[in-house]
Amino acid sequence: MKQKSVISLLVVLIALAAAVATLTGILSTEGPGPYQHESIRGETVTIYGRGVYQHMSAEVAPQGIAQDYVTLLLGIPLLLLALLWARSGSLKGRLLLAGILGYFLVTYLFYLLMGMYNALFLVYVFLLGTTFFSFLLTLFSLDRKQLPSAFLASTPNRLTGGFLIFVTVSIALLWLGIVVPPLLEGTVVPVQVEHYTTLVVQGLDLGLLLPSGFVTGMLFIRKRTWGYLFAPVYFVFLSLLMTALTAKVVAIALLDYNVIPVIFIIPTFNLLTVLSSVFLFRNIREVAQV
């Protein structure tokens, strides 16, 4: 694997920094507790009031903690295992590592942009930078031209690519269901904005992540070289992200928030995405790569 030592160092640093960030998010409890806050738009928002996320809303902060559990207990161990597998020269290991790094990259991009400023700001900055460069280096270590030959002839490109397109379109429609109605009603700002500046998750999903998944699905269906590179990486990334989203939905459901219809949609997509990832990797054979 090209740049093996650099990627290894970056991944170890990512694991350590992510452990600090997640444990702080889970264990910190200082603060006055929940209180009411009037936003700049005149909306009354309940603030969480505890721990490093104490200035987040009472609905969003528990979701951050839920994702911290997923990142700590699943993301970090998988990241280190994928690194060991990739260092052995495994093509599957490198694709898995790239997908997991994609999850860390997107996670801490969201934390940096959406999280109210806190003591972990520089940790988030560090994680964003290290995951970005390690993700690119891992992708660049793959011989793109050899990838199509690594997939079995029986690989169901249409089925897996079509499923990826279906998931991305469905989530896009879910987010548009939040954004469009206030525009049509003239109120403009969805209640989900709360006291934040904008809808960061929905904005980045609609503008970048979901179109990337849609295009990846199309390329994979058409058996293009870039599709063979991005499809397994995106499925791994999406599997972890969907797991985190499922944990978030469960967390706020336990706090008696209305989670219909996402309580049915997200876990179902989560299960199907994980199964698709496993199935896709079973259709990849190891080929010699530098």
Q: Which residues contact 6 (CB under 8 A, 6 or more apart)?
A: 137
Q: What letter would DSSP give residue 37? A: E
**Residue 288 pLDDT:** 59
Cβ atoms of residues 67 and 242 within 8 Å:
no
Instruction: Say which range, 30-34, 101-105, 177-181, 285-289, has the weakest mean pLDDT.
Output: 285-289
Q: Which residue has the higher pLDDT, 1 or 130?
A: 130
Decide if 105 contacts 239 (C-beta within 8 A).
no
Q: How far apart are CA 57 and CA 34, in angstroms?
A: 9
Torsional sign, CA 278, 280, 282, 286: negative
Q: pLDDT tens across 143-159, in order?
A: 888 899 999 999 999 99
Q: Calculate what percentage of the chain has a pLDDT beyond 90.
A: 91
| Contact yes or no for 283/155 (Cβ under 8 A) | yes
Alpha helix ranges (H) inside the chain: 4-27, 61-70, 76-87, 91-114, 121-140, 147-150, 157-185, 200-204, 210-221, 225-254, 262-282
Q: Are 42 and 52 in contact (CB under 8 A)?
A: no
- The stretch 106-118 carries a mean pLDDT of 95
Averaged pLDDT of the chain? 95
Q: What is the pLDDT of residues 197-254, one digit of tens each?
A: 999 999 999 999 999 999 999 999 999 999 999 999 999 999 999 999 999 999 999 9
The predicted pLDDT at position 258 comes to: 87
pLDDT score recorded for residue 1: 66
73 confidence band (pLDDT: 50, 70, 90): very high
Per-residue pLDDT, 290: 57
Residue 289 has pLDDT above 70, yes or no: no
On the question of pLDDT at 2 being above 80, the answer is no
